[in-house]
Chain A
Amino acid sequence: MTSIVSGSTRMSLFLQVLLIFALMPVTQALRAQTLVVIVNPSIGVQHLSRREALDIFLGRYRTFPSGASALPIDLDINSDERKQFYLMLAKKDPADMSSYWARLTFSGKISPPFAVADGHMAVDIVANNPNAIAYVDRSSVDNRVRIALEITP
């Protein structure tokens, strides 16, 4: 957005303002995408609270509330979904998250979740691994997985 403005230096201020307003719906649309936390239906987890989900992804617990072990799957570190997920659930930006994991690397006990390239890959893993848990855009979800939590801003 900034680059557009700086790239149109010859535009009048009026036009610049207009453009900003014109682009706003696009941003809204981006935000509007809905993230969901998915689990394998076989694990028997019907619903997860935001905290339960977060505790699994941050390494606090490696089990579902039911006691079954949990295997969190992260999305690519640069993906928009991953950024949104932690921003909404833990209120931490990617830098904070990196710092968090960095502190834990030397203790060796807890390591960050395994990351996959995109949502489809994540859905595949969850579909095939009963202990897996992941977050994806709602649009990527198919009936092989169960939505345990819907993350709304």
Chain B
Amino acid sequence: MRTHTTKFFWIALALLAPACGGSQVEPPGDDDTTGDDDTTGATDETGGEPCVEDPKDPVEILNACSDATCEPFANTKERLPLLKDDGSLPPLP
């Protein structure tokens, strides 16, 4: 369900944060070290977002490294005031 996937999104971001840079997570600094999985410190060429160099699963495909321009949309309470405190989506009215 949406709530679960959104939770997964924030968990995934938290896991990605130590290795990846971008405006939605902590920048990686100069270290572009590749970990054991396919999620690397690589960033795309224009957006500075974390990306996956050898995508295998559906989420990795969405976040694969690319030369395309991208623009992060911040799913934060500032931008989406109705988000629940844990970042999940409330039920529809």
A and B part of one assembly: no
